[in-house]
Amino acid sequence: MLKKEHLKFRIANGRIKPVFISPEAPENTALAQRFIALYEHAAAAAMRRGELNDAAEALIRAEKDLKSAAGLNKLLLDRTLFSAALECDYPALRRKLFLDSAQKFTNGILPAGGEVDFYGDLPDFEIICGFTTITPTALLHRYNLAQAQGLMFFTEKLSFTAQSSDAAELRKLLKAIKFFRLLAHFKAIGKGGISAEISGPFSLFGPTAKYALNLANILPALVNLPQWSLEAELKIKDRILHLKLDNKAALVSHYRNLSGYIPEEIRLYHRLFAEKSGDWQITGDTPFLDAGEQEIIFPDISFTSGTTGKTIHLELFHRWHASLLDRRIDLLKHHPELPLILGIDRALVASPEVLAEKLSDAPHLLDRCWLFRDFPGVDSTLRVLKKWECQNRSRTVNS
């Protein structure tokens, strides 16, 4: 990801436009190749971070466009691994070295060089232990996408539309939004299209780095679709600026397989659920649920009972989802027939007593909601699923 000092953009009439570079231009390809060659050589030579920084700085200063060169360098630095410091007291080692050396000088003895690295805890002395190479064209495409992503850190609100004849592609996009826990409202548009409104970090509670990073990570999933458009309001130095992008920008995603970006907590949940679930199974394809007035719900996880064949869907609400939670509870109060259960982060609802008060006019929903910290547990999920199955059987018998 690029930092603010690497971003290039133009502002005119309240609109902001990122400045992209041509991935096909020979001079840009040559520039990218020079930086890639430096990093490949540095990795092969196990160069120290300080040496790499000096060599990269020399390359940057040789270019007319210093900001673009620095941006390319930053993206390659992000692909570089450095050795961790050893578990020892480096300041104490250095203190002993200096005292011993001073004593030897006092006695007229020239200290011999040692093999111990006394500066291993200092960043400039970290050694490169790995680098994931990239082609020049791919690096230039990555640079352009990162320019747009960098601006999204200043988002107050964002909306996009996406069209695809492949519903699975749209599901991947919505799943990415769920993975990154963004506050979003979805609507169906036409045939094979969706629109979404996503709150930005500034609209929630000021610039929140984690949420801003999650929002920026949505763009690579969006640009994978054949037709898309995005509009955002950005807050930069107390100015509100408007950003517009669409598929004509020819941005190229580096997301090849979204499963590679699934958080570890979700992988662990799926694994534990398979071990404990018994009759229940997590379904592969999560459908869109109709919430009325063209609004759609995209659940986080869907479950199917092996006994009844019925499917119920789980939607998770994290610390940024307070307004969305209120909307969903109101929907279930009016449409209890929806096969939907809600998992609620304790950052939103601190205790079962607070939840009971929130649902005082709809106590029957208590069996369809439960609280968790950061991510729900499998046991609590199964308890709610069994309650729902019992209620569903009762409704079937009574009807």
pLDDT tens digits, 268-298: 888 999 998 888 999 877 788 888 888 889 8
Domain limits at 312? Answer: 263-398
* Same domain, residue pair 65 and 153: yes
Give the orientation angle of helix 66-77 with respect to helix 136-151, to 10 degrees: 100
Burial group, residue 295, by CB count within 10 angstroms (0-12, 13-18, 19+): middle
> Which one of 212, 232, 258 terminates a domain?
258
Query: Which residues of the chain have a pLDDT value below 50?
Result: 115-116, 206-207
* Same domain, residue pair 222 and 315: no
Q: Among 125, 110, 109, which residue's Cα sits nearest to residue 48?
A: 125
Instruction: Classify 193 as helix, strand or coil.
Output: strand
Rounded to whole angstroms, how far apart are CA atoms 309 and 315? 20
Q: Among 318, 308, 315, 263, which residue's Cα sits nearest to residue 281?
A: 308
Bridge pairing between strands 15-18 and 239-246: parallel
Burial group, residue 193, by CB count within 10 angstroms (0-12, 13-18, 19+): middle
Rounded to whole angstroms, how far apart are CA atoms 129 and 69? 24
pLDDT at 336: 87
0.75 exceeded by the pTM?
Answer: yes
pLDDT at 283: 87
> Each residue of 50-63: pLDDT tens digit?
999 999 999 999 99
Based on the structure, what is the number of domains in the chain? 3
pLDDT at 23: 96
Q: Is residue 125 part of a domain?
A: no
> Which one of 205, 228, 258 terminates a domain?
258
365 close to 357: Cβ distance less than 8 angstroms = no
Bridge pairing between strands 128-131 and 184-188: unpaired
DSSP state of 276: H
* Same domain, residue pair 208 and 231: yes
* Same domain, residue pair 95 and 201: no
